[in-house]
């Protein structure tokens, strides 16, 4: 490519910095060393040492020798003395490097260390005259050479595109990013512990499915070559987990990735993580209580309290202290819109209400979809800003897998949980009447034929067969893990709690553009034997 010839010199630029670092790799090899050694016997982490020796007086000498390792984040050269700040997974620690201790050769090797390199060091644990806990280095070893420079040591990396595409760099330099994913991990672990303690069994069900059911969403489509079969990535966990309750696993859950072929926003990623829980002999009332237990414990375990920052309202907080209020959706519609509605109203009346409220509707919608549309567009975003809110009694028409409310077949025993205007959970008493379930599936197929692109296009015959063997009374629940992580970490965007969010692809050519290849390293090791490109 002629690009190389046209490109002007970049001394001090990225290309130059990487060439200089590649030269150092070659120099280490030329001296018989290994810039990428096999392992390092670390005896203590940064946190270990801060915990054991955090209270020492300035100028203390402990006589304790430890081996530490980490990435070099800061360097302060003082002539014959060098301070390195190294970061490991537990925190940061200072290395005190003296030419008098290391000798000329050892000290010269430390001079070659760059920001971003991984190093291992062994020496006495001391504090400096200013009182900083340090390892007074007796020997130091390069563990991995970094060829690319780190972002600004003080300002870090703030460009969101780069932060998401190069999450590894974000995690190196941004403590906030590390904290967010620690909170997420603790929340997930907590949910799992709570369910395990209550006797729930964790399972894994298929991601690749012949028909994607259990929610209203457009699936991703793929193809299995050997079976010559179109397959779909799952949009929910529900139908397989209820099959397992039929099989006698009375308390079952799965934490899993689901995929929906929809738009991307601060609250939506095409692949996201749900936990779904099914509990035989329980109903939606029990599931609301379980939801509360799970999220409250996650808050305690992840952030140590019930008060969280409101993600979208600076300065405001949300109090998760139980018990959370429970309200019927029709009551909430009246409270927030002033309109009185019911699924028992005729369609014309409800359409007129939608018109007054400027809620869009389609001609094939029945009373249930119209009521739900009003709730969805006008009420949901206003719920849960001070305390979480359970909304319940959802129309049957929008709840094809939920059990009808006793004495009111047009409504179901279903609830959703709202916190900060966002839906975090959805649950119900499960529909276990196979005849009625078949009717609901057939209505969905009809809706699909009317043009509802998210309705199931086929009847899931195997699921109906399972129901015919008898699904006991069962309560079900789905919780959006990403949104729980957003809530507990205080992050306003789902991309901040997903390590590698979905983005448009980056050109591989751009990434590779300045890659250091073997020829560069050879040139550096044996200058003069190659003519250069």
Q: Give the nearer residue to RNA in terms of CB position, either 7 or 179.
A: 7
Of 8 and 531, CB closest to RNA: 8
d(CA 217, CA 234): 10
Contacting RNA (CB under 7 A), which of 2, 4, 5, 12?
Answer: 12
* Selected range binding RNA among 212-220, 250-258, 336-344, 404-412, rule: CB under 7 A: 212-220
Instruction: Indicate whether 314 belongs to the interface with RNA (CB under 7 A).
Output: no
Contacts of residue 378, Cβ cutoff 8 Å, sequence gap at least 6: 333, 336, 337, 357, 359
Q: How far is the CB of 460 from RNA (least distance, A)?
A: 11
Asked if 11 interacts with RNA (CB under 7 A), we say yes
Cβ closest to RNA, residue 308 vs residue 398: 398
Q: Which of residues 364-383 bind RNA (CB under 7 A)?
A: 372, 376-377
Which parts of 391-420 interact with RNA (CB under 7 A)? 398-401, 416
Q: Residue 194 or 452: which CB sits closer to RNA? A: 452
Q: Which stretch binds RNA (CB under 7 A): 127-135, 241-249, 276-284, 285-293?
A: 127-135
**Radius of gyration (C-alpha) of the chain in whole angstroms:** 30
Rounded to whole angstroms, the Cα distance separating 17 from 166 reads 19
CB nearer to RNA: give 117 or 299.
117
Q: How many residues bind RNA (CB under 7 A)?
A: 81
Pairing of strands 317-319, 307-309: antiparallel
Residue 216 binds RNA, judged by CB under 7 A: yes
Task: Please state the closest distance from residue 301 (CB atom) to RNA, in A.
Answer: 27
476-515: which residues touch RNA (CB under 7 A)?
Answer: 492-493, 495, 503-504
Residue 464 interacting with RNA (CB under 7 A)? no
Tell me the C-alpha distance between 509 and 349, whole Å. Answer: 59
Q: Which residue stretches of 247-316 are H helix?
A: 284-303
Which residues ranging from 131 to 160 are in contact with RNA (CB under 7 A)? 131-132, 134, 148-160
Is 442 one of the binding residues for RNA (CB under 7 A)?
Answer: no
Distances (CA, A) of 406 to 225, 402, 411: 47, 12, 9
Tell me if 458 contacts RNA by CB under 7 A.
no
Q: How far is the CB of 466 from RNA (least distance, A)?
A: 18
Asked whether position 445 contacts RNA by CB under 7 A, the answer is no
Residue closer to RNA by CB (options 207, 250) is: 207
Residue 439 contacts residue 387 (beta carbons within 8 Å): no
Residues 6+ apart with CB under 8 A from 520: 19, 22
Least Cβ distance, residue 227 to RNA (angstroms): 26
Tokens in use for 526? 């044996």
Q: Which is nearer to RNA, 64 or 250 (CB)?
A: 64
From 125, 167, 192, select the one nearest 484 (Cα to Cα): 192
Site for RNA in 240-279 (CB under 7 A): 260, 262-263, 265-268
Q: Rounded CA gap, 399 and 405, in Å? A: 11
Site for RNA in 77-106 (CB under 7 A): 77-81, 83, 85, 94, 96, 98-100
- Tell me the three-class secondary structure of 197-262, residue by residue: HCCCEECCCCCEECCCCCCCCCCCEEEECCCCEEEEECCCCHHHHHHHHHCCCCEEEEEEEEECCC
């Amino acid at each position: 490519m002629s690009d190389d010839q046209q490109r002007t010199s970049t001394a001090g630029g990225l290309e130059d910095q990487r060439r200089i670092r590649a030269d150092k790799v070659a120099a280490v090899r030329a001296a018989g060393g290994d810039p990428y050694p096999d392992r390092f016997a670390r005896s203590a982490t940064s946190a270990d040492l801060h915990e054991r020796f955090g209270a020492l007086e300035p100028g203390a000498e402990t006589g304790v020798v430890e081996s530490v390792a980490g990435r070099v984040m800061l360097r302060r050269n003082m002539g014959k003395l060098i301070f390195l700040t190294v970061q490991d997974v537990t925190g940061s620690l200072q290395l005190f490097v003296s030419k008098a201790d290391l000798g000329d050769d050892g000290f010269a090797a430390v001079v070659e260390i760059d920001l971003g390199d991984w190093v291992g060091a062994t020496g006495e644990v001391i504090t400096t005259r200013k009182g900083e806990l340090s390892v007074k280095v007796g020997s130091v070893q390069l563990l991995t050479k970094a060829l690319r420079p780190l972002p600004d040591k003080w300002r870090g990396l703030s460009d969101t595109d780069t932060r998401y595409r190069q999450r590894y760099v974000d995690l190196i330099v941004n403590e906030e990013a590390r904290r967010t994913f620690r909170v997420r991990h603790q929340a997930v672990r907590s949910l799992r512990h709570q369910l395990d303690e209550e006797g729930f069994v964790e399972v894994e069900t298929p991601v690749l499915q012949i028909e994607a059911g259990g929610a209203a969403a457009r699936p991703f489509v793929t193809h299995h070559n050997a079976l010559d079969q179109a397959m779909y990535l799952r949009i929910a966990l529900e139908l397989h987990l209820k099959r397992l309750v039929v099989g006698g696993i009375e308390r079952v859950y799965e934490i899993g990735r689901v995929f929906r072929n929809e738009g991307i926003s601060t609250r939506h990623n095409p692949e996201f993580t749900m936990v779904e829980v099914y509990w035989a002999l329980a109903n939606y009332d029990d599931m609301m209580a379980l939801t509360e237990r799970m999220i409250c414990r996650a808050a305690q375990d992840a952030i140590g309290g019930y008060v969280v920052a409101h993600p979208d309202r600076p300065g405001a907080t949300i109090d998760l202290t139980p018990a959370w209020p429970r309200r019927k959706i029709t009551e909430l519609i009246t409270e927030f819109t002033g309109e009185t509605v019911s699924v028992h109203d005729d369609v014309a009346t409800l359409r007129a209400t939608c018109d007054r409220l400027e809620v869009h509707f389609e001609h094939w919608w029945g009373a249930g979809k119209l009521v739900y549309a009003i709730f969805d567009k006008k009420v949901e975003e206003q719920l849960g800003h001070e305390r979480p809110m359970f909304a319940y009694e959802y129309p049957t028409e929008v709840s094809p897998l939920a059990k009808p409310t006793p004495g009111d077949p047009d409504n179901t025993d279903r609830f959703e949980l709202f916190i900060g205007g966002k839906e975090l959970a959805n649950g119900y008493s499960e529909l276990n009447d196979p005849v009625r379930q078949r009717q609901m599936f057939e209505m969905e197929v009809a809706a699909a034929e009317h043009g509802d692109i998210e309705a199931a296009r086929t009847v899931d015959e195997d699921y109906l067969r399972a129901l015919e063997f008898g699904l006991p009374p069962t309560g079900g629940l789905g919780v959006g893990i990403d949104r729980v992580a957003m809530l507990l970490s205080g992050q306003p965007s789902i991309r901040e709690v997903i390590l590698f969010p979905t983005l448009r692809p980056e050109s591989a050519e751009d990434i590779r553009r300045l890659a250091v290849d073997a020829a560069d390293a050879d040139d550096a090791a044996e200058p003069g034997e190659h003519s250069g490109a």
